[in-house]
Amino acid sequence: MRNEFANGEAAAVYSMRRETETVKEDGQVWISKANGRALREEVDMDYGGAIGKGHLSARYEYSNVKAPI
């Protein structure tokens, strides 16, 4: 879609859409141009009926990551 900065990194912004029998999702994900990792995600969900709608906002950070012992 476009280029932006997320968490201080240059990122490509992609749109996403998923539709199943139970949910419709529309969102965007920011992917780091430096290493291909996801940096941010925004998703609107519509479950319909009594469950209704929801929104997911996520920010991914990779600092201080260590392998398990």
In a domain, 67, yes or no: no
What's the confidence (pLDDT) of residue 14?
97
pLDDT digits (tens, 9 = 90+) for 8-31: 999 999 999 999 999 999 999 999
**pTM confidence score:** 0.82
In a domain, 64, yes or no: no
In a domain, 8, yes or no: yes
In a domain, 29, yes or no: yes
* Cα–Cα distance measured from residue 63 to residue 22, given in angstroms and rounded to the nearest whole number: 36
Is 64 strand, coil or helix? coil
Q: Which two tokens stand for residue 62?
A: 């990779």
- Residue 63's pLDDT band (boundaries 50, 70, 90)? confident
Asked if residue 19 lies in contact with residue 25, where contact means CB atoms within 8 angstroms, the answer is: yes
What's the confidence (pLDDT) of residue 58?
97
Number of structural domains (the chain) is 1
The burial of 39, by beta-carbon neighbours within 10 Å (0-12 exposed, 13-18 middle, 19 or more buried), is given as buried
Give the percent of the chain with pLDDT over 70. Answer: 100
Task: Kindly tell me if the per-residue pLDDT of 65 is higher than 90.
Answer: no
